[in-house]
């Protein structure tokens, strides 16, 4: 038993030290950024990533550093990563828009149907953590209502408790469902940023395929299919075709 207790405290101490190390590196990186030493700041931020510590703030700071170095594809990549974790952050959204103004391709996006926009806005109303906290809170409320319903002798209290049980379980399921959907969206690897200066999009997954159109670095594309080292992509205006996987970096790639 003593061995298990000792092992627990060792793990706890290691995790705390690990987190403190990441925080110290973040502060160091931010300090270098404030001194306009952007390349050194990126090196420090990469060390934080190497510790498997990710956050919207980390990705945002990396995006800012790359932007200052005029490396716009990398800036867009990390702004997109940050936005996945904090979809309603105005600073991230603004900087991402500014970075996209710096790339060559200005492609008009096909407008989404209004109910799809509303659904996405609802899902992204809160972060995963907030949706999860709301859901768990209502799960507890459900059990409290169940206890009151079981113990109460008053018809009015039982009726109120039953209504509370019904309402809380519905809200819990919905909010936890939203958290799960956001979690799955954040884990999906179906979006990427082009990192090759100029890419010919082919009609088939082969070098001999007919060139359909050309895209340039910094453009965000959606991955629709994969075949060996080729991916089928769709650009914002709806056009699609095949390019090499080596021409892009996947946004959610770990």
Instruction: Please give the DSSP secondary-structure letter assigned to residue 214.
Output: E
Give the DSSP H or E segment for 249.
strand 248-250
**Tens of pLDDT along 10-37?**
333 334 444 445 688 899 999 999 999 9
At residue 138, φ and ψ (nearest 5 deg) are -75, -25
12-16, 75-79, 162-166, 173-177: which has the minimum mean pLDDT?
A: 12-16
Q: pTM (2 decimals)?
A: 0.75
pLDDT at site 22? 64
31-40, 119-128, 164-173, 183-192: which has the minimum mean pLDDT?
A: 183-192
At residue 127, φ and ψ (nearest 5 deg) are -75, 170
**Tens of pLDDT along 32-83?**
999 999 999 999 999 999 988 889 999 999 999 999 999 999 999 999 999 9
The CA distance from 139 to 240, in Å, is 44
pLDDT at site 21? 57
């Amino acid at each position: 038993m003593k061995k298990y207790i000792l092992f627990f405290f060792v793990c706890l101490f290691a995790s705390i030290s690990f987190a403190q190390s990441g925080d110290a590196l973040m502060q160091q990186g931010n300090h270098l950024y404030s001194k306009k030493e952007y390349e050194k700041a990126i090196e420090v931020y990469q060390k934080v990533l190497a510790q498997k510590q990710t956050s919207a703030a980390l990705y945002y700071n990396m995006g800012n550093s790359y932007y200052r170095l005029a490396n716009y594809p990398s800036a867009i990549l990390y702004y997109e990563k940050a936005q996945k974790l904090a979809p309603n952050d105005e600073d991230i959204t603004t900087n991402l828009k500014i970075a996209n103004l710096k790339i060559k391709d200005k492609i008009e996006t096909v407008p989404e149907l209004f109910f799809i926009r509303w659904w996405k806005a609802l899902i992204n109303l809160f972060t995963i953590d907030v949706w999860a906290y709301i859901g768990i809170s209502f799960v507890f409320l459900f059990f409290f209502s169940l206890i009151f319903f079981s113990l109460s002798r008053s018809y009015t209290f039982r009726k109120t408790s039953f209504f509370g049980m019904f309402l809380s379980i519905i809200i819990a399921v919905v909010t936890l469902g939203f958290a799960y959907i956001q979690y799955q969206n954040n884990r999906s690897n179906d979006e990427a940023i082009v990192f090759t200066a100029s890419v010919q999009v082919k009609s088939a997954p082969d070098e001999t395929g007919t060139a359909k159109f050309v895209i340039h670095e910094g453009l965000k594309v959606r991955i629709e299919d994969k075949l060996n080292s080729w991916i089928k992509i769709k650009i914002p205006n709806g056009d699609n075709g095949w390019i090499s996987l080596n021409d892009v970096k996947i946004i959610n790639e770990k």
